[in-house]
Structures are given as C-alpha cells and as structure tokens.
Chain A
Amino acid sequence: DADVTQTPRNRITKTGKRIMLECSQTKGHDRMYWYRQDPGLGLRLIYYSFDVKDINKGEISDGYSVSRQAQAKFSLSLESAIPNQTALYFCATSDSGRTNYEQYFGPGTRLTVT
C-alpha cells in the first residue's frame, strides 16, 4: 500500500467551483506539504504544516486554503477555481525527527479547471 495517498487522482471542474484535494499518509510523519507543478516550472510550495496546529503559507498560497484535520490528513481547497489553477498537485510528508530534509511524495492529482 502507498504511504502517501491523494484523492482524487484526476479532477475536471468548472471556473468558480470550490474543490478539495485530500492527502493521507501512513508514514507517521508530522510535517506535510502541498505543491503544484506546472510544465517547465518545477514544484512550487503552496502551504505546509509542521504539526496539526501549525499552518504556513508557501510561495504561491493566493487562491488556496488548507486544513490539517489530523496528523495523517492534510487537505487543499480551491475556494473558487480559475483556469490558471490547472496543474498537477502533489502532497508530501517529512519527519522532523530525521537529520535530513527528505520529503516523500504522493502520486499527484491532475486538476483541470475549464
């Protein structure tokens, strides 16, 4: 079974709709992240959470919100989707108890906003 899972894997939605992407992990990690990936732009950090009560904005948080419902769950919401939010979205986790900063990624959610 995958350690980091994302649902849905693919989603098509219309402009103005609210949409939620979900991430769950069984790694027992305390830190979780949301990234978006656009062709030629690499991965950009949207939000990150170091524990259930800690939420931080990343590089590109405008138009997004997050919720850390439990240590194992971190969801990303688009309050009112727009076409330029069409992208591949990745959730990742890391363990603050380790001495390196390796992050473990989920399989991604492909979101299309029409």
Chain B
Amino acid sequence: GESVGLHLPTLSVQEGDNSIINCAYSNSASDYFIWYKQESGKGPQFIIDIRSNMDKRQGQRVTVLLNKTVKHLSLQIAATQPGDSAVYFCAENANSGYSTLTFGKGTMLLVSP
C-alpha cells in the first residue's frame, strides 16, 4: 500500500471479490490505527480503527488486521461493491496521548461491475 512518487498504488477488483489493502506504518510506538475512505470530491470518512493491544477487529464487511512484529496493517473488504471504489488511507497515532494522526499515502480501490 505504499506509493512511489506521485502515483497512487491501485487495486482493481471485480464486484463480489474480497479486497485486501495493505499499509506499512512507521512508528513501533504507535498505539492506535485507523482506516479512512475518501471518495472523489469528498473528505475522508472513518471506516474502522484498532488499538495496538488487538490484532484483529471486525466491522460490517470490513476487517482490520494488525501485525506489530512487521509494522503492517491491512484492511479487508468482503464482497466488494462498486460503491467501495475510493482511495483508502491508513493512519497511526504516533504520539501517544496526543490526538494527532500520521497518514499513509493512500491506495486507490477500483471495483468493476
């Protein structure tokens, strides 16, 4: 899920497939992680979050997995729909006790019917 230069990594899937979006985070001391979805022309919207004392958390059609050993976060979307097409950002709270978030560069998910 890391970008290089100005080009967003892109994941293209078919409707109904499961999607997995990956993110490598930077700070081993981060204790909170969050996924946002950004549709074209809109601000980011919360999807799901997870604390560092957990390794998995499930929501409606979404699951976040946290692997602290390799500083890796993933977002799984089940039965992907065209409405899931958007840019997805992971973010970490790298300053424990402060509510600032450090965002990743994003991954674009394209869902074709």
A interface residue numbers (CB < 8 A to B): 4, 31, 33, 35, 39-45, 48, 50, 58, 90, 92, 94, 96, 100-108
Contacts and interface: CB of A to CB of B under 8 A. Distances in A.
12 contacts: A39-B6, A39-B8, A41-B105, A43-B44, A44-B103, A45-B101, A50-B99, A94-B99, A96-B99, A101-B34, A105-B45, A106-B43
A55 to B, nearest CB: 13
Contact of B100 (A4, A48, A108): A48
A4 B44 CA distance: 12
A103 B89 CA distance: 13
A4 B43 CA distance: 10
Nearest to B51: A100
Q: Which of A33, A40, A90, A92 has the most CB of B within 10 A?
A: A40
Given A40-B7, A100-B32, A101-B32, A108 B99 contact: no
Q: Which of A48, A102, A108 has the most CB of B within 10 A?
A: A102
A58 B102 CA distance: 10
Nearest to A96: B99
A90 to B, nearest CB: 6
Nearest to A95: B99
Interface string B19-38: 00000000000001010100
Nearest to B44: A105
Interface of B: 3, 5-8, 32, 34, 36, 41-46, 49, 89, 91, 93, 99-106
Contacts of B6: 39-41
A3 B32 CA distance: 24
B100 to A, nearest CB: 6
Contacts of A41: 3, 6, 105
Contacts of A103: 99, 101
Contacts of B105: 40-42
A102 B34 contact: yes
A58 B100 contact: yes
Contacts of B46: 102, 104
